[in-house]
Amino acid sequence: MDAAVDLGITTFDTADSYADGRAETLLGRALRRHRRSTVEILTKVYKPTGPGRNERGLSRKHIMAAIDGSLRRLGTDHVDLYQAHRYDHTTPLAETMEAFADVVRAGKARYIGVSEWRASEVRAAHPLARELRIPLVSNQVQYSMLWRVIEAEIVPACDELGIGQIAWSPMAQGVLTGKYRPGEAPPAGSRTDDGFGAAMIARYLGEDLLRRVQELRPIAEGAGLTMAQLALAWVLRNPSVATAIVGASRPEQLAENVKAAGVVLDPAVVTAIDAVLDPVVERDPAKTKSPPTRP
């Protein structure tokens, strides 16, 4: 964490459900070494934080309890962005937005965001937020060279409403780094060894897709970039993307990733990327969805 701040990274994203709340606790401990005004803390609510039916979703009861739990674990009196981790089809949207408004008015969150909401859901929430005078500013979405489902509907809707995109998995679960190779076993200790990670990465492990990703290597080298930097620069070139979320297990990875900020890709590079990946890119906007019932 200290290495990230030293590199100019000041925004940190987590969720109350990550590692059963331990992710917030660890983040809070790490950030206590830094002045609160110099960092932005983002967290989320929706996914289960316990076995009870009221310990999940976007009901008023859960939101009001969840924000207090997050603040306690993070060791702060407010978060900069409080995000609805998914859309809750069980709770009336007006109830959810009114609860978020009370969180903002209580000074416990500065801004409100959503994550993986469809265009229609964002459009429904925006006028409620405006009426309640709360700033709905972001939609956190999966976005990468390989996963472009937001481009057809979500981005145009959010652009119209002044809502920015926070891109998660910009390297497609690490596949766009090139470390997963066709015909070879995944590297030891990779996401494929983790139950949740294995499910997330499975869609990207087809032989044709992995072969095409390897064809990006000379494109990256020609641009003077690593594969990871190319993937990040591609995401950040989209003017609708406010920021991209990256993870790192070593300070050297952070140092490499941060170099992608400010990179301007030549149009010929973008064209070459599309020529290689087009047959394996996912673009179906219906892939953005929340579960019909709470998890």
Exposure of 85 in the CB half-sphere (CA atoms within 13 A): 24
Contact status, residue 251 vs residue 184, Cβ threshold 8 Å = no
- Tokens matching residue 139: 């939609």
Starting at the edge strand found earlier in the chain, the sheet holding 109-115 runs: 11-13, 40-45, 79-84, 109-115, 136-142, 164-168, 241-244
The residue among 59, 5, 60 whose CA lies nearest residue 35 is: 5
Active site residue 18: yes
Which segments of the chain does DSSP mark as H helices, in order? 2-6, 22-31, 60-74, 93-105, 119-132, 154-161, 195-201, 207-214, 217-222, 227-236, 251-258, 267-277
Active-site residue among 18, 143, 180, 204? Answer: 18
In three-state secondary structure terms, 248 is: coil
Q: Where in the sequence numbering do the catalytic residues fall?
A: 18
